[in-house]
A = this chain, B = another copy of it.
Amino acid sequence: MHGAASTGLPDVLQRCDHCPVRHQAVCGAMDEVQIRKLSQIAHRKRMVPGQTIISDEEPVDFFANVISGAIKLTKTLPDGRQQIVGLLFAPDFLGRAYSKSNPYSAEAATEVEICCFPNTAFERLASEFPGLQQRLFQHTLDELDAARDWMLLLGRKTAEEKVASFLLMLARRSLMIGCQHTGSASVASFELPLTRADMADYLGLTIETVSRQLTRLKTANVIKLHSNRLIAVPDIDRLATAAGQELGHY
C-alpha cells in the first residue's frame, strides 16, 4: 500500500528522482538541492475510488501532487444536490495556499496515487524559494481559466454540447499525452475517468440525460463506445462542432 516502501529502496533515493511527474508538477521548478529537501517531507498515498481526500468540513494540513488517477472537487447544497467544480489529473496540484479551510471536498474518482506534503513544511519551502510559489500561482490561474470555461458550459450549453465538450476535453488530453510517444494519431481513444453519475455532477445534468446524449453521439458516429468506459473519437473536429466550438481556436 506504500509505493516507495515496496521496492525496498530507501525513500530518499526512491522518491522524486523516479517520480513520473517530477518535471511536470510544481516540483518541476526545483533544482536537485531543493528537490532533496522536498523529498524529505513528502510521502505517497494510494486511494480507492470514492475515498474522501479532503472534506469541506475539516481543516486540511497537507498539499499534494497527483501522480496518477483522477480526483474530483465537489460542492454540495444543503439538500444534497452536488456539483463537481474541478477535476484533477496527473501533474496537478491539490490544496489551497493561505487557508486551512477548503470551500469544497476532494474525492478520488478512480484509483489515485498522490504525493503529500505537510502544510507548514511546504509553505516554508515555498517562502524560501519564490519559483515554487510562482508555479503555484500559475497553476491557480490555470484552474481559474478552467473554472470559467466550465461556467460557460454550465450556463449556456445544451445537454449534447455539454457531454461533447467533456469528451472533447478528454480526447485532447489523451492526444496531448499520446503525442509525446507516438508521432500523431488523430484518432483519440481513451478511458472515461468518471461514472455516469460523476459526469452528471460535472456537467450539471442527470445520469439519464448523460446516458442518452452518449448514445446520441454514438448513433451519430461522432464517438464509438467500445465498452461503458472506453471511448474512441474518429474525427475530433466533428466532436468539437458537437461541443459548440466551431473549429479553430483552443
Contacts and interface: CB of A to CB of B under 8 A. Distances in A.
A141 B244 contact: no
B203 A141 contact: no
A103 B150 CA distance: 12
Contacts of A204: 154-156
A204 B96 CA distance: 28
A133 interface: yes
A203 B147 contact: no
Interface stretch (A12-20, A42-50, A82-90): A82-90
Interface string A9-37: 00000000000000000000000000000
A176 to B, nearest CB: 18
Given A97-B141, A140-B140, A151 B83 contact: yes
A104 interface: yes
B150 A99 contact: no
Contacts of A203: 155
A245 interface: yes
From A137, A145, A148, A150, residue with most partner B Cβ within 10 Å: A148
Given A144-B143, A144-B144, A75 B149 contact: yes
Interface residues of A, number: 43
Contact of A141 (B99, B138, B156, B246): B99
Contacts of A144: 140, 143-144, 147
Interface string A71-82: 001010111011
A127 to B, nearest CB: 9
Nearest to A136: B137
A165 to B, nearest CB: 11
Given A103-B145, A244-B78, A245-B78, A85 B152 contact: yes
5 contacts: A83-B156, A133-B134, A147-B148, A147-B151, A154-B155
